[in-house]
């Protein structure tokens, strides 16, 4: 079996394992939320939100993305791994000291005396996490995603199995704190159990690593400013209720990007890094990935937009009906964002860290003025249009740079997802015709029936159109071939048929 074939197989396998991890993580999170909501008070969650928001900001600014640099560096040696680990220890120590130093002022700012002790404990947890074995990065670098799945799931389970029993026992916010501490301690212990590498203090490769990581830090900060600017602008101009509506709408609308595409991108980045010396194969693999993303993410995003007026009353209740128009706009942006997100892994693999940073800055510079103007003019729906405008502008700039970096034509890129584009147009027409006279005032059972019908019609229409276009095009290489080559054997097995050749 050739190296290229092995990389392709590992890339597909890795995507499945990462999707499985996301599904496991979300399932545990949902179960945990349901249980904890019945055992703890809203004040407990609010206290933790105050503390963890500061932790998140500090960790964001201190995150040097050493794992990304190591994966990209084909000739990484012990000095690279040891230097990366040393940087992580230094950053974690800095974060721990800052959190401890800010504990009392933060408690005074929020007028929550209990917050001080919580932050001391979280400072210790942040410090401990810095000692995680850098060797586990090799799981992604060598595309051993089954091992990474076990490691990540083990960490998540440690937090879950600590938080829930202590919530029953203590019945207060300390159960949440203990869960975070357990997760981070488990991460350190499991990392040394899962991988034999034993790091040492070293800064020999500091110049090489920091040359790349500094650009990723700039990108992190830019993305944070872009994504969180809505909190300040909407909160200041429209109010807390509108901000709550926007945040929930954004979370739902971007599900295709966060739940479907993000784990795939995590899996394909190491594969891209291994194909740097084979530009033709790198181009082919990228087009293969973007075709898969388009096949799945585009109908999912449009489906969320089309059915928002049906599932919001069912899932969120009557208090959230004003989120419907927000979801309808934001979901379109989420679909476009999912489509272009695969490009980041290519830029990182090619070593174009500066490009990634500049794109992050560009998105921030575009987002903030549009957000200020449109929110002041249209209210919270203006913020949704600002996000969509930013995503569209970012898409054009990103693809211009990407096509140049890969030596691809725009026509070659369009060929990979023109069938899904036609499919979602036909799907939109079909669902709109079906739901033209539907309102949100119907009974809940009626809404659920309509939602089921809309989803069924949309999925059937989309799949039928895409499959027909693929067959008419001569069954070319792409996402449809990959899906059918994997699904057809499963269908045969389910029907008890003997193995036959692939449909392709």
Report the alpha-carbon angle 292-26-330, nearest 5: 60
Report whether pLDDT(20) > 70.
Answer: no
- 358-376: pLDDT as tens digits: 999 999 999 999 999 999 9
The candidate with the shortest Cα–Cα distance to 465, out of 434, 403, 495, 423, is 423
pLDDT confidence of 119, banded at 50, 70, 90? very high
Q: In this structure, are residues 51 and 118 in contact, taking their beta carbons and an 8 Å threshold?
A: yes
SS3 363: helix
Number of H helices, E strands in the chain: 20, 0
- 27-79: pLDDT as tens digits: 676 677 678 877 888 778 778 877 887 888 888 777 777 887 888 777 788 99
SS3 239: coil
Q: How far is CA 477 from CA 285, 412, 473, 480, in A?
A: 11, 13, 10, 8
Strand residue runs (E) in 415-490: none
Other CB atoms within a 10 A radius of the CB of residue 261 amount to: 26
CA 327 to the chain's CA centroid: 18
- 144-203: pLDDT as tens digits: 878 888 888 899 899 999 999 999 999 998 999 999 999 999 999 999 999 999 999 999
Among the residue ranges 15-29, 165-179, 439-453, the one predicted with the least confidence is: 15-29
pLDDT of residue 364: 92
299: Cβ contacts below 8 Å, ≥ 6 apart: 420, 423, 424, 427, 458, 459, 462
pLDDT of residue 8: 52
* Dihedral (CA of 268, 272, 275, 281) sign: positive
The candidate with the shortest Cα–Cα distance to 390, out of 262, 221, 223, 216, is 223
Q: CA 480 to CA 459: how far, in whole Å? A: 15
Other CB atoms within a 10 A radius of the CB of residue 485 amount to: 12
- 86-115: pLDDT as tens digits: 999 999 999 999 999 999 998 898 888 988
Q: In this structure, are residues 297 and 479 in contact, taking their beta carbons and an 8 Å threshold?
A: no
Q: CA 160 to CA 152: how far, in whole Å? A: 13
DSSP label at residue 318: G
Other CB atoms within a 10 A radius of the CB of residue 439 amount to: 8
The candidate with the shortest Cα–Cα distance to 397, out of 442, 344, 359, 347, is 359
The 3-class secondary structure across 9-58, one letter per residue, is HHHHHHHHHHHHHHHHHHHHHHHHHHHHHHHCCHHHHHHHHHHHHHHHHH
What burial class does residue 233 get, using C-beta atoms within 10 Å of its C-beta: 0-12 exposed, 13-18 middle, 19+ buried?
Answer: buried
SS3 334: helix
Q: CA 483 to CA 295: how far, in whole Å? A: 10
Phi-psi region of 475 (alpha: psi -120 to 50; beta: other; left: phi over 0): left
């Amino acid at each position: 079996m050739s190296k290229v074939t092995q990389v392709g197989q590992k890339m597909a396998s890795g995507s499945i394992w990462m999707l499985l991890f996301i599904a496991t993580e979300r399932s545990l999170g949902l179960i945990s939320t349901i249980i904890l909501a019945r055992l703890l008070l809203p004040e407990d969650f609010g206290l933790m939100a105050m503390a963890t928001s500061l932790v998140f900001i500090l960790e964001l600014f201190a995150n040097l993305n050493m794992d990304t640099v190591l994966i990209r560096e084909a000739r990484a040696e012990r000095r690279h791994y040891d230097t990366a680990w040393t940087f992580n220890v230094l950053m974690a120590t800095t974060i721990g000291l800052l959190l401890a130093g800010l504990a009392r002022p933060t408690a005074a700012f929020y007028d929550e005396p209990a917050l001080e002790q919580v932050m001391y404990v979280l400072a210790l947890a942040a410090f401990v996490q810095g000692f995680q074995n850098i060797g586990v990065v090799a799981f992604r670098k060598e595309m051993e995603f089954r091992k990474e799945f076990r490691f990540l799931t083990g960490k998540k389970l440690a937090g879950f199995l600590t938080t829930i029993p202590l919530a029953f026992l203590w019945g207060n916010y300390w159960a949440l704190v203990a869960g975070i501490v357990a997760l981070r301690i488990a991460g350190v212990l499991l990392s040394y159990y899962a991988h034999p590498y034993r790091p040492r203090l070293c800064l020999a490769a500091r110049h090489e690593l920091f040359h790349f990581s500094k650009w990723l830090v700039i990108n992190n900060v830019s993305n944070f400013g872009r994504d969180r600017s809505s909190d300040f602008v909407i909160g200041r101009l429209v109010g807390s209720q509108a901000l709550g509506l926007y945040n929930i709408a954004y979370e739902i609308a971007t599900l295709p990007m966060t739940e479907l595409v993000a784990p795939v991108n995590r899996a394909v980045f190491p594969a891209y890094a291994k194909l740097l010396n084979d530009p033709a194969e790198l181009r082919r693999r990228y087009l293969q990935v973007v075709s898969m993303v388009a096949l799945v993410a585009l109908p999912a995003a449009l489906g969320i937009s089309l059915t928002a007026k049906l599932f919001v009353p069912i899932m969120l209740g009557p208090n959230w009906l004003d989120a419907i128009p927000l979801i309808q706009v934001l979901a379109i942006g989420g679909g476009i964002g999912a489509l272009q997100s695969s490009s980041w892994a290519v830029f990182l693999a090619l070593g174009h860290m500066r490009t990634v940073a500049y794109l992050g800055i560009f998105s921030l510079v575009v987002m903030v003025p549009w957000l200020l103007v449109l929110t002041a003019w249209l209210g919270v729906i203006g913020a949704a249009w600002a996000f969509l405008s930013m995503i569209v502008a970012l898409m054009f700039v990103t693809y211009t740079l990407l096509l140049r970096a890969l030596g691809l034509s725009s026509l070659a890129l369009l060929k990979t997802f023109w069938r899904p584009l036609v499919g979602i147009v036909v799907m939109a027409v079909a669902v709109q015709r079906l739901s033209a006279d539907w309102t949100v005032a119907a009974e809940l059972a009626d809404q659920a029936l309509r939602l089921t019908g809309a989803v069924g019609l949309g999925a059937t229409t989309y799949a039928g159109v895409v499959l027909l276009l693929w067959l008419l095009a001569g069954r070319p290489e792409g996402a449809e071939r990959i899906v059918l080559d994997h699904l057809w054997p499963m269908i045969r097995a389910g029907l008890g048929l003997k193995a036959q050749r692939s449909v392709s």
